[in-house]
Amino acid sequence: MNIDVKKGLIAEMKTQALILPFCEEDKKLSAEALAVDRKTAGMISRLIKNGDFEAKLSQVSVFQVSADCPFEKVALLGLGKRKELTLDKVRRAVSKGMQTLRDGKVRHAALAFGSEFMSGEGAGLYFAAAEGAILGLYQFTPYKTLARNEIKSIDTLRFIVPAASLAGAKAEVRKAGIISRAVCFTRDLVSTPGNDMTPSILADHAKKLAGRKNLSCTILDRKKMKSLGMNALLGVASGSCQEPRFIILEYRGGKRGSAPIVLVGKGLTFDSGGISLKPAEKMDEMKTDMAGGAAVLGAIMAAADLQLPINVVGLVPATENMPGGCAYKPGDILTSYSGLTIEVLNTDAEGRLILADALAFAKTFKPVAVIDIATLTGACVIALGEDVAAVLGNDEALKNQIKAASEMTGEKVWELPLWELYDEQIKSEIADYKNTGGRPAGTITAATFLSKFAGDGPWVHLDIAGPAWKTKANDYIPKGASGIGVRLFVEFLEKRAGK
Q: For residue 353, how many other CB atoms are within 10 A of its CB?
A: 29
**Nearest to ligand BES of 85, 290 (CB atom):** 290
What is the Cα–Cα distance from 486 to 409, expressed in whole angstroms? 10
Largest CA-CA distance found in the chain, in angstroms, rounded: 82
- Minimum gap (Å) between residue 414 Cβ and Zn ion: 21
Residue from 32, 343, 350, 494 touching ligand BES (CB under 6 A): that is 350
H-type helices in 421-485, by residue range?
A: 442-454
445 and 105 Cβ atoms separated by less than 8 Å? no
406-465 binders of ligand BES (CB under 6 A): 436, 442, 465
Query: Looking at 61-69, 185-193, 378-386, 387-395, which segment touches ligand BES (CB under 6 A)?
Result: 378-386
- Minimum gap (Å) between residue 17 Cβ and ligand BES: 38
Q: Which does 32 bind (CB under 5 to 8 A by kind): Mn ion, Zn ion, ligand BES, none?
A: none
Q: For residue 263, how many other CB atoms are within 10 A of its CB?
A: 31
Residue from 206, 275, 313, 379 touching ligand BES (CB under 6 A): that is 379
Query: Rule CB under 5 A: is residue 348 a binding residue for Mn ion?
Result: yes
Helix (H) or strand (E) holding 270: strand 267-271
Query: Looking at 228-236, 243-251, 304-312, 373-381, which segment touches ligand BES (CB under 6 A)?
Result: 373-381
One-letter identity of residue 136? G
Query: Rule CB under 5 A: is residue 320 a binding residue for Zn ion?
Result: no
Q: Among residues 89, 102, 266, 352, which one is catalytic?
A: 352
**Nearest to ligand BES of 87, 465 (CB atom):** 465
In whole angstroms, what separates CA 102 from the centre of its chain? 23
One-letter identity of residue 455? G
Q: What is the CA radius of gyration of the chain?
A: 24
User: If we measure between CA atoms, which residue out of 343, 116, 329 comes closest to residue 236?
Assistant: 329
One-letter identity of residue 204? D
320 and 293 Cβ atoms separated by less than 8 Å? no
**Nearest to Mn ion of 295, 349 (CB atom):** 349
Query: Looking at 47-55, 127-135, 375-383, 425-433, which segment touches ligand BES (CB under 6 A)?
Result: 375-383
User: Active-site residue 352, yes or no?
Assistant: yes
User: Active-site residue 278, yes or no?
Assistant: yes
Query: Rule CB under 6 A: is residue 346 a binding residue for ligand BES?
Result: yes
What is the Cα–Cα distance from 76 to 59, expressed in whole angstroms? 8
Q: If phi over 0 gives left and psi between -120 and 50 gives alpha, with beta otherwise, what is residue 475?
A: left
Q: Among residues 6, 107, 170, 278, which one is catalytic?
A: 278
349-378 binders of Zn ion (CB under 5 A): 351
- Minimum gap (Å) between residue 362 Cβ and Zn ion: 20
Residue 141 φ/ψ, nearest 5 degrees? -125, 5
263-292 binders of Zn ion (CB under 5 A): 268, 271, 289
User: If we measure between CA atoms, which residue out of 318, 398, 383 comes closest to residue 351?
Assistant: 318
Q: Which residue is nearest to Mn ion (CB)?
A: 348
What is the Cα–Cα distance from 468 to 266, expressed in whole angstroms? 12
268-297 binders of Mn ion (CB under 5 A): 271
Helix (H) or strand (E) holding 185: helix 166-191
Using CB under 6 A as the binding criterion, the count of chain residues that bind ligand BES stands at 16
What is the Cα–Cα distance from 421 to 399, expressed in whole angstroms? 20
- Minimum gap (Å) between residue 278 Cβ and Mn ion: 7
287-306 binders of ligand BES (CB under 6 A): 289
Helix axes 442-454, 351-362, angle to 10 degrees: 30
Query: Rule CB under 6 A: is residue 351 a binding residue for ligand BES?
Result: yes
Which DSSP state fits 277?
P
Query: Rule CB under 6 A: is residue 349 a binding residue for ligand BES?
Result: yes
88 and 128 Cβ atoms separated by less than 8 Å? yes
Q: Which does 346 bind (CB under 5 to 8 A by kind): Mn ion, ligand BES, Zn ion, none?
A: ligand BES
- Minimum gap (Å) between residue 386 Cβ and Zn ion: 17
What is the Cα–Cα distance from 24 to 148, expressed in whole angstroms? 39
Query: Looking at 20-28, 138-146, 237-245, 343-351, which segment touches Zn ion (CB under 5 A)?
Result: 343-351
Contact positions vs Mn ion (CB under 5 A): 271, 348, 350
Active-site annotation, residues: 278, 352
Residues that bind ligand BES (CB under 6 A): 271, 289, 346, 348-351, 375-379, 381, 436, 442, 465
Q: Which residues bind Zn ion (CB under 5 A)?
A: 268, 271, 289, 351
